[in-house]
Amino acid sequence: MKRKLLDTSNLTIKHLSKLIASREISCLEVVDAIIERIEKLNPKLNAFITILDESARREAMHADSLIKQGRYLGPLHGIPISLKDLIYINGIRSTSGSKILADFVPDYDSTVAIKLRTAGAVIVGTNNLHEFASGITGINPHYGSSKNPWDYARMSGGSSGGSAVAVSSGMSLASIGTDTSGSIRVPSSLCGIFGLKPTYGRVSKHGVMPLAPSIDHVGPLARSVWDIAALLQVIAGYDKLDMSSKKTPVPDYLNEISSSEGKDSSSNNNIDTSDEKFKIGIPKQFFFDMIEPKVMEIFREFVDRLHGCGITTSNFDLDGTDKIFETWRPIRLAEAAAIHNEWMVSRLQDYGEDVIRMLEKGLEITAVRYINALHKWRQVIKGAFLNGMSEYDALLVPTTIIPAPLLNQNEVNIEGKSTEVYLSLSRLTSVFNIIDLPVLNIPAGLVGSKLPVGVQLVGRPFDEARILKIAYAYEQHNNLAEQFIPAII
């Protein structure tokens, strides 16, 4: 009799890795379940551009053979993971969500792909994205838009929208995305999962199609803090092939968060996960100037739950916020225009309308504006944030000021003021790209009991361990992986 396939709708790497290590379930069984779920749901959600079913099954069988030999490689052994479709896999089409690179097949692996496979992970496919990662909505004219699993009529967010949809809907246990203006955190917020933008230089960008190189980041999306830590443990570290990579020691993230672990999160009892008392700062300026009231209500409720975990918060004054947009905009637009300059001459007609508009705006940025933004204002803003953080373990702000908009929506109305969807979704995230700080999106709540929104936990440079530890303490009290499961039809 054929064994019933595993239900992957709410599984985490933490849970599944234990089953694989103990041989209660085989890697092939896990991959078979994932592939069947992709085949069932992807036609509706459009989270994948390429599905690697055959190679994934081969990798799973190899992972099983290693376990039989007593060679268990760690928490990612046999775990199905997807990659945003601009992270290169040798011999696999990498479109960057574009018409221009529709047939591009890299002849080498990205550093991230190499590290994942070395750790035993199974790559099941490549995820849909906003064209060339140049957008925050996930709307794609070439491959179709990824749909939010909480409401198919709504945006997934972007540009790592397919990655977030795949994880949220159980079509992948985790994904690796990129973040230039919020492209990991925004879709994570709208789809109800965790997403980490690490410190700039923490994770190699070698073999990743660039958008704006000085603010591009590579990071993981997953269903739990433990899973994020396990992924970061593998993909972090210096890479001589990436000029922006930093020679900074990589902590043992799993040990860092597990050292404060109390009772299992399935317990109904309140648990004190740590003797360490965390203090979080909430800036008064900028982050609450424009926000939908229901999203603000969820933020306040999240803060109350933090207090219930023994984590204290306080509001503080933050300088430098008036320069955020005039710093981010020249860097993001000018660098993208430089990357695409040749194609803009030879293949202009092959770009989507929204992307070409952004690229053309980049050509209008003067050298003076770009250099001032890159070498002056971003340092001023970073200094202001670090100064503001001096008395705190981390900062806390909302991720998005709205829940997921409708797929055909161009503007939103917030308390009588109309604003573009793009600016609404990226308003609170882009600053952390220009100042390089690590940021974790944490699922915070549901607007109208049906649309997720998140909060951003912000740490000091290369201090991902601390924000993961704080988030893990919160997660232990609230069992988020069970709460944020979309009712997929």
Annotated catalytic residues are 84, 159, 183
Closest CA to 210 of 184, 247, 178, 237: 178
Amino acid at 424: S
CA–CA distance, 154 with 399 (Å, rounded to integer): 17
Q: Are 185 and 158 in contact (CB under 8 A)?
A: no
The verdict on whether omega for the bond into residue 159 sits within 30 degrees of 0, i.e. cis, is yes
CA–CA distance, 312 with 115 (Å, rounded to integer): 37
Q: What are phi and psi of 218, to 5 degrees?
A: -115, 135
- Angstrom CA distances, 130 to 36, 100, 159, 216, 485, stand at 25, 14, 5, 15, 24
Q: Are 372 and 381 in contact (CB under 8 A)?
A: no
DSSP of 46-92: --EEEE-HHHHHHHHHHHHHHHHTT----TTTT-EEEEETTB--TTS
CA–CA distance, 213 with 233 (Å, rounded to integer): 23
Strands 80-84 and 174-179 turn out to be parallel
Closest CA to 437 of 370, 362, 400, 384: 384
- Structure-token match 């198919």, residue found: 152
Q: First and final CA of the chain: distance in angstroms? A: 27
CA–CA distance, 306 with 176 (Å, rounded to integer): 28
How many other CB atoms sit within 10 Å of the CB of residue 198? Answer: 25
CA 87, chain centre distance (Å)? 14
Query: How many CA atoms does the CB half-sphere of 146 hold within 13 Å?
Result: 37
Identify the DSSP state of 376: I
